[in-house]
Chain A
Amino acid sequence: MVTLTLAANIPDPDGFYERLIDAHRGLSDADSALLNARLILLLANQIGDRAIVDAALEKAASLSTDP
């Protein structure tokens, strides 16, 4: 049974978020989507644990898209 970490675990969260948004500056929507896809693949490979990646996939998909 794998537990997905939901507690804060990113140092300097505002700095991280700024870097993430800056990476998309000036990109078309298609290029942004491609950047995000590459990023997810790189991070998933880094995690390297299918159970964790699957749990994250389920969590992300479980949230409604409506506000």
Chain B
Amino acid sequence: MSSFDYPTYPYRPGPEQLGETTPTSPVIVIGAGPVGLTLAIDLGQRGIPVVLLDDDDTVSHGSRAICWSKRTLEIFDRLGLAGPLVARGINWRVGRVFRNDREVYRFDLLPEAGHKLPAFINLQQYHVEQALIEAVPETVDLRFRHKVVAVSQDADRVTLTVETPDGRYTTKARYVVAADGAHSTARAALGLSFEGRVFDERFLIADVKMKADFPTERWFWFDPPFHRGGSTLLHRQADDIWRIDFQLGPEADPAVERQPDRVLPRLKAMLGPEVAFDLEWVSIYTFRCRRMQRFRHGRIFFAGDSAHQVSPFGARGGNGGIQDVDNLAWKLAAVLSDQASDRLLDSYDDERVPATDDNILNSTRSTDFITPKTAASRAFRDAVLSLAEEAPFARALVNSGRLSTPHAYDGSPLSTPDGDPFTGGPPPGAPCPDAPIAGTDGQSAWLLNQLGGDFAVLTFMSEPIDTDLRQVRIGGTGGWADPEGLVARRYDLRPGTCYLIRPDQHVAARWRQADGAKIRKALQRARAAGGPTVITAPMEAR
């Protein structure tokens, strides 16, 4: 049924199986999905050797996650991976919402120019995984058909039992990251569970290959003429493949509904009798909105679906997982290269648990709007939809999915709170917005590319500041030009303004007037160094 030619990656035994002595690995990542691969690549590029174990020998079965957000693409771009993905993916930013056959609402996810990367691309998960596998650096030992079957830990290391075609072996690591999906073996091995809601509603995904003239937009129908009583979502993917997602109701029988003789009439009713299409992939799913209480358990970390699950409305599953490991990679690398103590890793929970709660909240609200559970809820939903066409206030209430946005780590222990007045720009904890800049010879560049993947300072000063960190200086002799004034606007820059930026391109601290001592103190805090009171210099006599 699928037009995708699945690659097969060969099984190779690990050095442990060949009788070689194996020192404890710095990091073992379980699961070579998009989340595990991104983490392994990020760590590997930072010079940390990684063992990446996967129980399969190919990429994702079916298109699965297809919507990759701007923030995820910026993370991929930091790793040098975004270009080919964006070239292959379908770039979109407009969504339309229909009720019956009338458009009630339209949204634009990136209404402004001056960003390197688009609001979203749609690209099948198997394409993303294949591209990531090809980008794995030498520092990553990627092993296919190595299935983790047991996990234990003590104060110093984690021990894994791994099953392969050649039998079982054990291996050890200082840290383990379980990116092994909703049915995580590691989570089960530790006896850990989820908290949250399970939804009964069943949905049908039908991926079809067709030449269609729908625009490259996200289209969502409430109660369309071709699928009365349910909702339908249409997304374009690469290779002329379209994702069509039908709400089936809680009573639908998955064994029956996945049969082509049930699926094809639904598609024909929607697309019309004259449209020729081939069925690519069919899946019936339900979903949960839930998370583990904590994502760090000793030396074991959970990331992506192994840690939390959301409904698909809002594209917050895959993107949330990529943002988990964006948060974790630099911290693990800092600890493993002795630039920070183990306590820095506690901030993974401090930052990603609230981010996950935000994803779960938005995803749950969308689900409750799309699938009303009570007569009153349905009445309000229908009332909102009937008002939305002519009353803008009601459009704000129409919720067909609030699409993934990066989380600002408000109140993070790694952030230095603002002491100086700012009226705009990303506050401490927030992700850095991109903007176009120009070099001294006039060549154009992008701010986020210049910030890079280590701690950096962004300044609006005439002279360099006293720091060993990478400096991106806007203005002044030898600094970057801000040709459209967008850096100044997006960062609320005034002469003297300085931002300390983390390796994941979130803001650690910012000042109206900075010096080397302020930067050093904020850097210590961003690396979770020292106690709550750090005395750096004696009080000056007055």
Q: Which B residues lie within 8 Å of A9 (CB)? A: 393
Q: Which B residues lie within 8 Å of A13 (CB)? A: 393, 396-397
Closest 10 pairs between A and B when the two form their complex, measured CB to CB: A32-B376, A24-B376, A6-B391, A13-B396, A67-B100, A8-B393, A8-B396, A63-B386, A29-B375, A21-B377
CB-based A-B contact count at 8 angstroms? 64
Question: In the complex the two chains form, is B365's CB within 8 Å of A17's CB?
Answer: yes
Q: Using A9-B393, A29-B375, A32-B376 as known contacts, list a sample of 17 further A-B pairs with CB atoms less than 8 Å apart, ordered by residue number in A.
A: A6-B392, A7-B393, A8-B396, A10-B396, A10-B397, A13-B393, A13-B396, A14-B362, A14-B365, A17-B397, A20-B380, A21-B377, A24-B376, A35-B376, A36-B376, A67-B223, A67-B386
Q: Which A residues lie within 8 Å of B369 (CB)? A: 17
- A46 within 8 A of partner (CB): no
Give the docked Cα–Cα distance between A24 and B397 (Å). Answer: 17
| Size bracket, chain A contacts | 20 to 34
- A3 within 8 A of partner (CB): no
B interface residues, how many (CB within 8 angstroms)? 28
- B473 within 8 A of partner (CB): no
Task: Name A's B-contacting residues (CB within 8 A).
Answer: 5-10, 13-14, 16-18, 20-21, 24-25, 27, 29, 32-33, 35-36, 59, 63-65, 67
Q: Which A residues lie within 8 Å of B223 (CB)? A: 67
**Given contacts A21-B380, A24-B377, A67-B99, is CB(A10)–CB(B368) below 8 Å?**
no
Contacts of B52-84 to chain A: CB distance below 8 A: none
Q: Which B residues lie within 8 Å of A20 (CB)? A: 380
Question: In the complex the two chains form, is A14's CB within 8 Å of B399's CB?
Answer: yes
- B390 within 8 A of partner (CB): yes
Give the docked Cα–Cα distance between A62 and B112 (Å). Answer: 37
Which residue from chain B places its CB closest to the CB of A9 in the assembled complex?
Answer: B393
24 pairs, CB–CB < 8 Å, chain A vs chain B: A7-B392, A8-B393, A9-B393, A10-B393, A13-B393, A13-B397, A16-B397, A17-B369, A17-B397, A18-B368, A20-B380, A21-B368, A21-B380, A24-B374, A24-B376, A25-B374, A27-B374, A27-B376, A32-B376, A35-B376, A59-B391, A65-B386, A67-B223, A67-B386
- B109 within 8 A of partner (CB): no
Give the docked Cα–Cα distance between A7 and B393 (Å). Answer: 5
Which residue from chain B places its CB closest to the CB of A62 in the assembled complex?
Answer: B390
Q: Which A residues lie within 8 Å of B393 (CB)? A: 5-10, 13
Question: In the complex the two chains form, is B399's CB within 8 Å of A29's CB?
Answer: no
Of the residues B100, B365, B374, B397, contact of A32 by C-beta under 8 Å: B374
Shortest CB–CB separation between residue A55 and chain B, in angstroms? Answer: 12
Most chain A CB within 10 A, of B372, B373, B375, B396, is at B396
Q: Which A residues lie within 8 Å of B372 (CB)? A: 21
Question: In the complex the two chains form, is B376's CB within 8 Å of A29's CB?
Answer: yes
- B227 within 8 A of partner (CB): no
Shortest CB–CB separation between residue B374 and chain A, in angstroms? Answer: 6
Give the docked Cα–Cα distance between A18 and B365 (Å). Answer: 7
Q: Which B residues lie within 8 Å of A6 (CB)? A: 390-393
Contacts of B344-393 to chain A: CB distance below 8 A: 362, 365, 368-369, 372-377, 380, 382, 384-387, 390-393
Which residue from chain B places its CB closest to the CB of A26 in the assembled complex?
Answer: B374
